């Protein structure tokens, strides 16, 4: 590392250390507030139910409700510290180490995600929410690139809560009936009875977009067989075939992937034997099968992973510039992906 960078990182380290100490102190208070919050939530639910039978409990319900809301005002200091690192320190580090890349802590490029056509697959059909972070954009070796971490969420029936809700309804319905007999307002009250759904994350990964090193028209999709579901197979049989399925020379790839292309020769032109071998090596190294699409001269790459980029720990003391070495390595890993796939090799007609 050069001297100027070391001086800069040292300054950042001192500033971040102050932030870390503050977070550690707040975390001591939070370690009390968090269980208290759960306890108050439980008490509030019980008191709210009892309030339906014994209306005089209303002031108690309100008091507990206010106390619960006050505990919500305190955010997790660990998350705040990490957020501070990503919002205020990482962009400056990117500027110093990789001036061709810009960074923002949250966000993703929805337009590029749609262009990739990865979301059209049945596996992602139930997605109701997408969350992106560590959005990096710019140029690597004059190649346009974008990277971000991405999480897909879908609604899942929570059978425990649904059963609990039904049980509660069984208790409340007779009470309501009994109450309505003696109630003169003729207004029926609502008693909730139904399926309770939670929003859960079902896929977490790392997305990359880059300008591919060959000119081509059409599309090629490499879908891991584990990510193909019944909807895709039914679509393949019953919808007009705009894509042809092909096999490549690497048996491991053929066993794990279904490869579709709009034109067979274009498919083999894009998926050279060299590229196929590199994808195979990358999937073995990461122990994961990426979903890859090549569309109109661009590559879109989504690999599942549970890593958290630029993670921050409030218990790790920040003494000097060495604290940031891990982060610089992670920033360099973006370039590594481009080089590993050989996208920076520009020896064909596309400069």
Partner 1 sequence: MNKTTAFITLIILTIITLPIFFITIPVFISIYNGLVRKKNQVEYAFSGVDVELQKRGELIPNLVESVKKYMSFEQNTLKEIVELRSRITQINPGSAERFSLENNLTEQLKQVMVTIENYPDLKSNENMLHLQRSLNEAEEQISAARRAYNASVKTLNDSIQAFPSNLFASIYDFTIRPYFIAEQNSKSAPNLKGLFN
351 binds partner 1 (CB under 8 A): yes
Which residue number, 268 or 305, has a Cβ lying nearer to partner 1? Answer: 268
Binding characters for partner 1, 176-215, by CB under 8 A (x = yes): --------------------------------------x-
Each residue 214-233 as x (binds partner 1 by CB under 8 A) or -, in order, gives x-------------------
**Residue 267 near partner 1 by CB under 8 A:** yes
- CA 313 vs CA 16, 19, 23, 81, 107: distances in Å: 12, 12, 10, 8, 22
Strand, helix or coil at 155? strand
- The full DSSP string for 319-335 is -SGGGGHHHHHHHHHHH
Tell me which of 247, 251, 320, 333 binds partner 1, using CB under 8 A: 247
What Å distances lie between residue 232 and 235, 259, 262, 301, CA to CA?
5, 13, 16, 19
Give 97's contacts (C-beta < 8 A, 6+ positions apart). Answer: 5, 328, 331
42-50, 196-204, 241-249, 332-340 -> range binding partner 1 (CB under 8 A): 241-249
Nearest to 134 by CA among 81, 83, 202, 96: 83
For residue 44, is it left (φ>0), alpha (ψ between -120 and 50) or beta? alpha
Q: Give the one residue of 269, 280, 297, 342 binding partner 1; rule: CB under 8 A.
A: 269
Q: Which stretch binds partner 1 (CB under 8 A): 85-93, 124-132, 303-311, 341-349?
A: 341-349
263 vs 286, which CB is nearer to partner 1? 263
Selected from 31, 272, 326, 333, the binder of partner 1 by CB under 8 A is 272
Instruction: Please say which residue, 51 or 254, places its beta carbon nearer to partner 1.
Output: 254
Gap between the terminal Cα atoms of the chain: 31
Report whether 218 contacts 261 (CB < 8 A): yes
Residue of 132, 268, 298, 305 interacting with partner 1 (CB under 8 A): 268
Rounded (10°) CA dihedral 130, 134, 137, 141: -130
Query: CB atoms < 10 A from the CB of 131, how many?
Result: 14
Stretch in the footprint of partner 1 (CB under 8 A) among 61-69, 90-98, 243-251, 295-303: 243-251
Contact segment (CB under 8 A) with partner 1 among 144-152, 196-204, 245-253, 331-339 equals 245-253
Interface residues toward partner 1, by CB under 8 A: 214, 246-247, 249, 264-269, 272, 347-349, 351
């Amino acid at each position: 590392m050069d001297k100027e960078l070391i001086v800069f990182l040292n300054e950042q380290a001192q500033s971040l250390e102050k932030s870390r100490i503050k977070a550690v102190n707040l975390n001591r208070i939070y370690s009390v507030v968090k269980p208290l919050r759960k306890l108050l939530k439980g008490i509030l639910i019980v008191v709210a139910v009892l309030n339906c039978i014994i209306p005089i409990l209303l002031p108690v319900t309100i008091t507990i409700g206010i106390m619960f809301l006050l505990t919500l005002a305190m955010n997790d200091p660990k998350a705040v510290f990490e957020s501070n690192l990503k919002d205020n320190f990482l962009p400056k580090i990117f500027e110093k180490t990789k001036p061709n890349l810009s960074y923002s802590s949250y966000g993703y490029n929805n337009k590029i995600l749609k262009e990739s056509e990865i979301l059209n697959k049945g596996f992602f059909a139930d997605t109701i929410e997408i969350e992106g972070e560590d959005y990096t954009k710019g140029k690597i070796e004059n190649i346009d690139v974008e990277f971000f971490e991405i999480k897909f969420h879908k609604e899942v029936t929570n059978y425990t809560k649904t059963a609990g809700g039904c049980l509660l309804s069984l208790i409340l319905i007779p009470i309501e009936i009994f109450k309505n007999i003696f109630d003169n307002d003729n207004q029926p009250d609502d008693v909730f009875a139904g399926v309770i759904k939670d929003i859960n994350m079902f896929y977490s990964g790392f997305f990359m977009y880059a300008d591919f090193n060959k000119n081509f028209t059409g599309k090629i999709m490499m879908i891991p067989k584990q990510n193909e579901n019944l909807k895709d197979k039914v679509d393949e049989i019953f919808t007009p075939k705009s894509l042809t399925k092909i096999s490549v020379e690497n048996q491991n790839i053929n066993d794990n992937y279904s490869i579709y292309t709009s034109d067979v020769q274009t498919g083999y032109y894009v998926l050279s034997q060299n590229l196929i071998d590199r994808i195979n090596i990358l999937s073995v190294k990461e122990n994961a099968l990426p979903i890859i699409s090549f569309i109109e001269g661009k590559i879109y790459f989504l690999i599942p992973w549970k890593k958290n980029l630029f993670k921050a720990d409030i218990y790790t003391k920040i003494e000097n510039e060495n604290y940031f070495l891990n982060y610089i390595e992670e920033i360099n890993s973006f370039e590594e992906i481009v080089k590993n796939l050989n996208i920076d090799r520009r020896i064909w007609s596309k400069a």
